[in-house]
């Protein structure tokens, strides 16, 4: 049975991905913050491993607990803090966003690659963002870190080839707790930081993205149908923008 590790697997997209992977016959391990795992416990067939993706020692311990090999690794971790213009953004806020996104991506990819190299048809998928290519006012730290993750994805793809494929998915806003403060970091019932009605009106497909809209592209990139793809970004945004 192929083994998939999902960083951020307790979040909205993560729970949908875990359910799909289980139904497709994967053995799944979820890595997430302790508070996220407490709020959304994983299914009994799934191994839960607490981790702080921005902490090198925590990442080393968590990936050491995964075993000898992985066949798939998906990084769904994402962090956005207070929305503000750059001139009103504190250095600590900037550093916090880059640690939560880019540092986490670096540390976990570095830990996952040796395990993936021992796997069967191994693949890694990074979750970036439409804001990496179509940034908006107030999102500078998040957008910059996700744009850097695209460059990281391409470098990983080159360095890991031909043994491991590395690609990314770049969704627009998805209707999850991420829009309301974040899984494990809020009570998840805040008003979304996006005007959902106005946002939907701008989307050619005229609906807001749901977690399963992202799960399909992720599973495609993990599977054999994308076997000749590496270093690529699949944009999932209902036609809102076309990089």
Alpha carbon 139 to its chain's center: 17
Alpha helices in the chain (DSSP H): 12-23, 34-39, 56-64, 91-98, 104-116, 140-160, 196-201, 211-222
Q: Is 142 a catalytic residue?
A: yes
**Active-site residue identified among 139, 142, 199, 228:** 142
Q: How far apart are CA 208 and CA 153, in angstroms?
A: 26
Alpha carbon 190 to its chain's center: 22
Q: How far apart are CA 73 and CA 167, in angstroms?
A: 11
Q: How far apart are CA 19 and CA 143, in angstroms?
A: 29
CB atoms < 10 A from the CB of 155, how many?
A: 13
CB atoms < 10 A from the CB of 47, how many?
A: 15
Cβ-proximal residues to 10 (8 Å cutoff; 6+ apart), any chain? 30, 32, 33, 36, 37, 39, 40, 42, 48, 183, 184
Catalytic positions, written as ranges: 142
């Amino acid at each position: 049975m192929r083994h998939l590790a999902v960083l951020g697997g307790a979040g909205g997209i993560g729970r949908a991905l875990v359910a799909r992977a289980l139904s497709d016959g994967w053995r799944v391990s979820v890595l997430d913050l302790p508070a996220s795992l407490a709020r959304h416990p994983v299914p009994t067939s799934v191994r839960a491993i607490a981790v702080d993706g921005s902490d090198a020692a925590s990442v080393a311990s968590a990936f050491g607990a995964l075993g000898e090999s992985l066949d798939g690794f998906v990084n769904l971790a994402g962090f956005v803090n207070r929305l503000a213009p750059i001139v009103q953004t504190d250095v600590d806020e900037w550093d916090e966003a880059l640690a939560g996104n880019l540092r986490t991506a670096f540390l976990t990819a570095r830990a996952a690659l040796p395990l993936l190299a021992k796997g069967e048809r191994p693949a890694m998928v990074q979750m970036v963002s439409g804001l990496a290519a179509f940034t908006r006012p107030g999102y500078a730290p998040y957008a910059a870190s996700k744009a850097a993750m695209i460059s990281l994805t391409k470098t990983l793809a080159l360095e890991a080839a031909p043994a491991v494929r590395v690609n990314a998915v770049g969704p627009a806003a998805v209707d999850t707790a991420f829009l309301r403060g974040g899984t494990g970091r809020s009570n998840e019932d805040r008003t979304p930081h996006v005007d959902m009605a106005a946002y939907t009106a701008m989307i050619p497909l005229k609906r807001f993205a749901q977690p399963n809209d992202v799960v399909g592209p992720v599973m495609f990139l993990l599977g054999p149908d994308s076997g000749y793809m590496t270093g690529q970004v699949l944009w999932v945004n209902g036609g809102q923008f076309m990089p």
